[in-house]
Amino acid sequence: MAKVTSDFIVWNYDGRAIRVGLDRLGQGPTVLLLPALSSISTREEMRPLQSRLAANFATVAIDWPGFGDAPRPKMTWAPSAYTNFLRHVLAHVALDPLATIAAGHAASYALVAAANRPGSTGRLCLIAPTWRGPLPTMMGTRSGLGKWLVQAGDLPVLGQLLYRLNVNRFMVRMMARGHVYSDPAWLAGERLAQKMNVVASPGARHASIRFVSGLLDPMRNRTAFIATAQRAGAPILVIYGAATPPKSKAEIEALALLPHIRSVALPFGKLAVHEEFPDQVAEQVRSFLGEASGSVR
């Protein structure tokens, strides 16, 4: 098996030089892999899928600024930063990819990139795509609570305490069982230790709290979500699991009604179906991309 090449880029934004990690694996047409934006997400979550695609493609998995496994600067992270970052990646890191595979919230940013510059992302493969953060999803609406949480989260002492109360080992496992993994025992041992290292990384709370509060949502409502997908062009593959939480599943199924979208509902899996069931996800992706690059086995 080919060895993963780990590297980093330095992205200049808002007067700061931000170091972002990436992994390369495989040879062939370029496929960009974007992990979800969440408190426990890094490019490592794409590794199982990346390793299964590397026999046919030159895969590039990259972290999002403010997330990942490296120390993260305190910044007022906003959707514009992530739109800017992905535009930079598509122009300088994964130029003219055959495809972009994006999980969770990353899928919405990939849709924005494809809508703003048709063809720049290649074929889109969206895994359990979301556009709304956990707090507004849970509450069913946006409120001032999210902004209050972000303001409190940025404070030196109170912010760290608030963050740790929400990402301790018990809370991470409870969140994972409820929304992320279908097997309650999947996140344990070395996997759990890796996730806890992610949430403990210096500066992790600033982007994480903004994501949870909905301040990193690239769209304001389902109408904008659907409209962006319409502008993104064809074809688009959407993969999700049958056990996806109901509110997120409703948004995915609304997206899947668009005529240029091919949707695949796997009989298992939640929001991290690509981590838990990479063989099944890779099979669907290879089939979809084989139409663009010739026969892929």
In the chain, what percentage of residues exceed pLDDT 70?
96
pLDDT number for residue 297: 43
Q: Provide the 10 A C-beta neighbour count for residue 81.
A: 20
Nearest to 244 by CA among 172, 197, 290, 180: 180
pLDDT of residue 69: 80
Task: For the chain, give every domain's residue range.
Answer: 5-131+219-293
Percent pLDDT > 90 in the chain is 71
Write down the pTM of the prediction: 0.94
pLDDT for the residue numbered 68: 87
Highest mean pLDDT among 26-30, 69-73, 169-173: 26-30
Q: What is the mean pLDDT of residues 86-113?
A: 97
Helix (H, G, I), strand (E, B) or coil at 34: strand
Which residues are CB-neighbours of 236 under 8 A, at least 6 positions away?
Answer: 123, 124, 125, 126, 229, 258, 260, 261, 262
Name the CATH superfamily for 5-131+219-293.
Answer: Alpha/Beta hydrolase fold, catalytic domain (3.40.50.1820)
**Mean pLDDT, all residues of the chain:** 91
Measured CA to CA, the distance from residue 59 to residue 275 in angstroms comes to 16
pLDDT at 214 over 50: yes
Tell me what the mean pLDDT of segment 135-151 comes to. 77
The pLDDT, as a whole number, for residue 101 is 98
Phi-psi region of 28 (alpha: psi -120 to 50; beta: other; left: phi over 0): left
Task: Please give the average per-residue pLDDT across 26-38, as a whole number.
Answer: 96
Mean pLDDT over residues 77-100, rounded? 96
Grade residue 70 by pLDDT with cuts at 50, 70 and 90. Answer: confident
Least confident residue range of 16-20, 128-132, 164-168: 164-168
State pLDDT tens for residues 229-260: 999 988 999 999 999 999 999 999 999 999 99
Over residues 151-163, mean pLDDT: 82
